[in-house]
Amino acid sequence: MRPPIEILLSEEMIRARIAQLAEEIAPRLREDVLLVTLMNGAFVFGADLTRALARLGKPLTLDFMVLSSYGSGTVTSGRITTRMDLSIDPTGRQVLLVDDILDSGNTLLMASNHLRDKGAADVLTCVLLDKPARRRVPMQADFIGFEIPNLFVVGFGIDYDQMFRELPFVGHLRAS
């Protein structure tokens, strides 16, 4: 059964913030930037951010990585593996790494180190949501959509056991 969801960030709030984020990010981007979206959770945010940057006239090359951290439900294990790597060589390029949520920091730290190991010249990071209270490793994003409290969120590409990715807003599971 699908648990009830309470709206935390509406479609309108997210749309407006992504347009602002693009304005913040665009001046920092080089001509050769490679925008890397972490799948699956960031696919909606990555798509919207890509188009917001394109509206500002930024040329982008796009690539994707699939990481998995084991465990389902609302707890992540901290063990992260690369299930699908980049298909474009990032050597010497600036990379804008896009993820859905910065939580313990393990995922973004591991992914940015991976990109540097593969030769990226510069890695900028952008997350839709940041939960600073949950940080376990020293990792900050260069660009943050929204800082949120320690709630388990879903929607806008983010799932709970593969449910709720389709929701156009960010919500949280209501305690029932």
Contacting positions for Mg ion (CB under 5 A)? 41
Q: Which residues face 81 on adjacent strands?
A: 68
Among 13, 68, 86, 104, binds ligand 5GP (CB under 6 A): 104
Instruction: Considering the complex, state which of residue 29 and residue 158 has its C-beta at the smaller distance from ligand 5GP.
Output: 158
Q: Does 160 bind ligand 5GP (CB under 6 A)?
A: yes
Give Cα 5 distance to the centre of its chain.
Answer: 21
Phi, psi values for residue 65, rounded to 5°: -135, 145
Q: Tell me how far, at minimum, the Cβ of 41 lies from Mg ion, in Å.
A: 4
CA angle 40, 33, 120 (to 5 degrees): 80
Interface pattern 81-100 for ligand 5GP (x via CB under 6 A): ------------------xx
Instruction: Considering the complex, state which of residue 11 and residue 159 has its C-beta at the smaller distance from ligand 5GP.
Output: 159
Residues 18-77 that bind ligand 5GP (CB under 6 A): 41, 76
Instruction: Considering the complex, state which of residue 41 and residue 145 has its C-beta at the smaller distance from Mg ion.
Output: 41
Q: Does 169 bind ligand 5GP (CB under 6 A)?
A: no
Say which of 48, 99, 103, 130 is annotated catalytic: 103
What sign does the CA torsion over 159, 41, 132, 50 have? negative
52 near 18, Cβ under 8 Å? yes
Q: Does 154 bind ligand 5GP (CB under 6 A)?
A: yes
Q: Which residues face 129 on adjacent strands?
A: 101, 146
Examine the residue annotation and report whether 100 is marked as an active-site residue of this protein: no
Q: Which two tokens stand for residue 99?
A: 């993820």
Q: Which two tokens stand for residue 108?
A: 């973004």
